[in-house]
Structure 1
Amino acid sequence: MLVAERYEKIVQLVNERGSIRVTELSELCGVTEETIRRDLDRLEDSGRLRRSHGGAVSVKDQPFSWRSQPEIPFTEREIMHAEEKQRIAEEAVKQIEPHQRILLDASSTAWYMARLIPDYPLTVLTNSIKVAAELSGKEKIEVISTGGILAHRSLSFVGPLAERSLDSYHVDKAFLSFKGVHVERGLSESNELQARIKHKMIGMADQVILLADASKFGVQAFTKVADLERVNTIITDQRLATTEAEPFIKRGIRMISV
């Protein structure tokens, strides 16, 4: 069974039954439970189902807006793939040098970075409440917050004010995460507001460093943000197969697996 066929079968089973467990999907699809968990992560990121403890539930009867898909609350995202995000964050911090100007988005991986960044001279621009709060105790780091409309689920600032505030700045490096990372379809986000501000962030940096655990690859979320041409480096985890990484390397993107 091809991966795409397995995805369709999983969604069909979830919609027919309302909910289903990982163990049962593993038996029905003839793959390991770990493979099913990765499949469910990707299907949730694309808005086709909702993860639950030990399985998945249907979203077919939930209200839907053409402008967005519901964001996963930050409290849930910070514990999803936590070990992989921690390793990615550790590697990302190595890419920072004192006195640089960097941007950290409102992703959970950026928050892990904020916890790890040493207290040395640095300017950090962010639209994340969590990142700003984490850095507030580091006296040598200058923290600039965008302001704007508070997106409660992601604890981030979005909207026109947040976007306009970015026009005043230019950074050496932007560390960004996205809901979807696709070779042909580029970078995508769960809703239009997040997509708009991340599009602005990409355009204001000398270097764009993408922080993406393996579950993000091959996913196309609701709103496209940008093509891959603006990405300089991708930091991911070792669950991403070599065959999956090769198309990005061929596009001239530096791949770091941790």
Structure 2
Amino acid sequence: MLNVESKVDRRHKNIIKELKKHGKVKVGELSKSLSVTDETIRRDLEFLENQKVLIRTRGGAVQSASEGFEVPSMEREQKHLEEKEAIARQALELVEEGEIIAIDASTTSLQLAKLLPNMSLTVITNSIHVSIELAKKEQITVILTGGYLRKESMSLVGITSDKIINDYHVNTFFMSCTAIDASWGVSDSHEMQARTKQRIAELADKIVVLADHTKFEQRSLVKWINLDEVDTIISTNDLEDSLAEKYEQKVKHFLRVAL
């Protein structure tokens, strides 16, 4: 038994070493290099995710939010997809025809863009994916912020983006994030991404945070807004009751939807 535990510990150390070196790992590559089965590696990754060392993705894992690493958008879109869709359906109820809304470059917000009906609406976004989705709906006016393209998130950020959006008014800003902490606030893993969100939030009457249960009790690289500045947080019943009660005290409205 002691030898088995020792092998497991060494395997975990090797996985963490590769993760820090490359930012991400693949199940197949790890199973070959460590001479174990794919299923063994998957169990290792599950254990390390529970220890908040990493975040599992399809076929592998990436560093956790606390490490300041941004997961590529295509991988993030597949994580907790059922939760993101449920959160987006709830968020849709907060959108009224004729409004000016902003949608950030998050995969949860992308689900909201997919659900928006073809109605009279103006949408400001820094997301290439969101703009492509909304281009299918002729009644929706789309305003792209401009700026530098971040390929990891397919988002537009930087000083140019800030200047373009400076004079706009926003009724409601729908956004997600890398992490939420009850005392520290809302944070993201990339500084320019966080600053763009912060600027849009300053223009908005209401701020709605869309967050699956994995985002809570986490801190990422850059904090950009306090929870008392957030109007609504939407999550799901996958979030523990005790945590939900904790965050209900921090914002005006905390909504949990059933899956």
Q: Verify the 8 A CA contact 2:102 2:124 in the aligned structure 1.
A: yes
**Cα distance in 1, alignment partners of residues 97 and 236 from structure 2:** 26
Q: Verify the 8 A CA contact 2:129 2:154 in the aligned structure 1.
A: yes
Which residue is equivalent to 2:232?
A: 233
Partner SS, residue 85 of structure 1? helix
Which residue is equivalent to 2:54?
A: 49
**Cα distance in 2, alignment partners of residues 14 and 147 from structure 1:** 45
Shift of 1:198: 1.1
Deviations 1:123-181 (A, max 9, x none): 00000000001000111111100010000010000011011112111110000101000
**Cα distance in 1, alignment partners of residues 143 and 243 from structure 2:** 36
**Cα distance in 2, alignment partners of residues 108 and 57 from structure 1:** 16
**Cα distance in 2, alignment partners of residues 57 and 210 from structure 1:** 23
The ranges of structure 1 where at least 4 consecutive aligned residues each deviate by more than 6 angstroms after the TM superposition are: none
Which residue is equivalent to 1:18?
A: 15
Q: Which runs of 5+ in 2 are unaligned?
A: 1-8, 17-39
1:165 aligns with 2:164: yes
Letter in 2 for 1:227: N
Which aligned pairs between 1:184-199 and structure 2 lie closer than 5 A? 184-199=183-198
Q: Verify the 8 A CA contact 2:84 2:111 in the aligned structure 1.
A: yes
Query: Normalising by structure 2, what TM-score?
Result: 0.79
Which aligned pairs between 1:1-258 and structure 2 lie closer than 5 A? 16-18=13-15, 21-24=41-44, 36=47, 39=50, 43=52, 48-49=53-54, 51=56, 56=61, 69-258=68-257
In terms of Rg, which structure is larger? 2
Aligned residues: 224
Shift of 1:69: 3.3
Letter in 1 for 2:15: G
Shift of 1:52: 5.3
**Cα distance in 2, alignment partners of residues 124 and 93 from structure 1:** 13
Deviations 1:84-143 (A, max 9, x none): 001111111111010011000000111111111000100000000000010001111111
**Cα distance in 1, alignment partners of residues 168 and 200 from structure 2:** 10
Shift of 1:244: 0.2
Task: Give identity over the alignment, percent.
Answer: 37
**Cα distance in 1, alignment partners of residues 128 and 164 from structure 2:** 16
Q: Verify the 8 A CA contact 1:186 1:224 in the aligned structure 2.
A: yes
Query: What is the CA RMSD across the aligned residues, in angstroms?
Result: 2.4
Q: Which runs of 5+ in 1 are unaligned?
A: 1-11, 26-32, 60-67
